[in-house]
């Protein structure tokens, strides 16, 4: 099942710069790992915002929840999940 997840990242303005750099690096590595697994099929930056639009391919809502909560920045996310169904006019 495909899910579109719209994620706003709300990092604390007063986060220590070394802690922030470490968090960004562990987030990057986990995102790469999930993309390599085939479960995280698209990751797009929303232009001009600390936000992304991600497409996940998961077996269930529970698996999606597990993947999202495994991202180190999860505590700083505000997100909206949109389950995707096939459009009858889509040729893909």
Binding site for ligand LWBT4IAB (CB under 6 A): 9, 27-28, 31, 43, 52, 71, 73
CB of 26 vs ligand LWBT4IAB, minimal distance in Å: 10
Residue 9 or 55: which CB sits closer to ligand LWBT4IAB? 9
- Specify which residues 6 forms β-bridges with: 53, 80
Q: What are phi and psi of 38, to 5 degrees?
A: 90, -5
Say what the alpha-carbon torsion angle 66, 67, 73, 75 is, to the nearest 10 degrees.
-20
Residue 1 or 46: which CB sits closer to ligand LWBT4IAB? 46
């Amino acid at each position: 099942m495909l899910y579109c997840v719209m994620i706003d990242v709300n990092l604390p303005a007063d986060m220590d710069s070394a802690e922030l750099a470490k968090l960004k690096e562990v987030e990057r590595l986990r995102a790469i790992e999930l993309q390599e697994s085939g479960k995280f099929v698209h990751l797009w930056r929303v232009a001009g915002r600390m936000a992304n639009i991600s497409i996940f391919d998961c077996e269930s809502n529970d698996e999606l929840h597990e993947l999202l909560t495994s991202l180190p920045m999860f505590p700083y996310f505000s997100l909206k999940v949109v389950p995707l169904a096939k459009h009858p006019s889509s040729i893909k």
